[in-house]
Amino acid sequence: MTYLKNITKGLILVIVLSGLTGCGTIHAMRNLEEGSGGTFMDMWDKWVESEGDIAVATTWAMKVKPGVTVEDIENALATVATDENIKAVGVLPLSDELQARDPSVKQKMLRVISYCSPTTARMMVDFSPAMAAFLPCRVVIVEKDDGLWLYTLNMDMMIKMGKKMPPELKVATMKVRNTIWSMMEKGASGEF
C-alpha cells in the first residue's frame, strides 16, 4: 500500500509539474521558502490519509495526556504566552455558551483561545495583507470520544509555503511559530 501511495504521489507530482511550465508557476516556486516541498508533501499525505479533509491537512493536532484538565491546559498556555511575550487576546468558550442555551444537553469541551504578537502581526500584514485573515493565532481545546485534543493552524505551512520573507520577518514569525508549538506541547502535557 505504501508503495502504491509513493508511486501515486510521484505520478501526480510529474503531471502537476509538467502542466505548470509557464503561467508564472515556475517563477512563483522560486520565491518559496526553503523546506516548502517537504511541508507540501506532509500536508498532501495528511490530506490523502484523511480522505480529503483540508482542515486535517492544514492544522497541527496533539492529544492531551490522560489526567490533564482544561485548567491545566489553560495554565500551560498562559505560562508559555507570558514567558514568550505573546499576548492573550481572547477566549471563546463555545461549549459553555451551548450548555447555557440548552442545559439539558451535556456539551463536550470546545474552547478557542487566541494569542497575538502585535508587532509580528503588523509586519506580516504589511508583507501580505491577506495574512490578516489568519490572525490571531488560536489554540483550540476539543473534547472527542477519546479525550481532549489541541488544534492550531500548521504554521509551517504559513511560513514555508509562502513567498520568501525579509529576514527580520522570518525571525519574528519563527519565534511565534515556535511559541505556538511549545504551547501545544506544554498544553498537551499539562506542564506549566
- The total of other beta-carbon atoms located within 10 Å of residue 9's CB is 14
Question: How would you class 188 by CB atoms within 10 Å of its CB: exposed for 0-12, middle for 13-18, buried for 19 or more?
Answer: buried
Say how far apart CA 69 and CA 85 lie, in whole Å.
24
Query: Per-residue pLDDT tens for 12-27?
Result: 655 565 555 556 666 5
- Which residues lie below 8 Å from residue 109, measured CB to CB, with a gap of 6+? 70, 95, 141, 142, 143, 148
Question: Strands across the sheet with 110-116, in order?
Answer: 59-63, 147-153, 137-144, 110-116, 87-92
Residue 114 pLDDT exceeds 60: yes
pTM of the model: 0.83
Domains and CATH numbers, the chain: 58-189 (3.30.310.70)
pLDDT tens readout for residues 136-176: 999 999 999 999 999 999 999 888 887 889 999 999 999 99
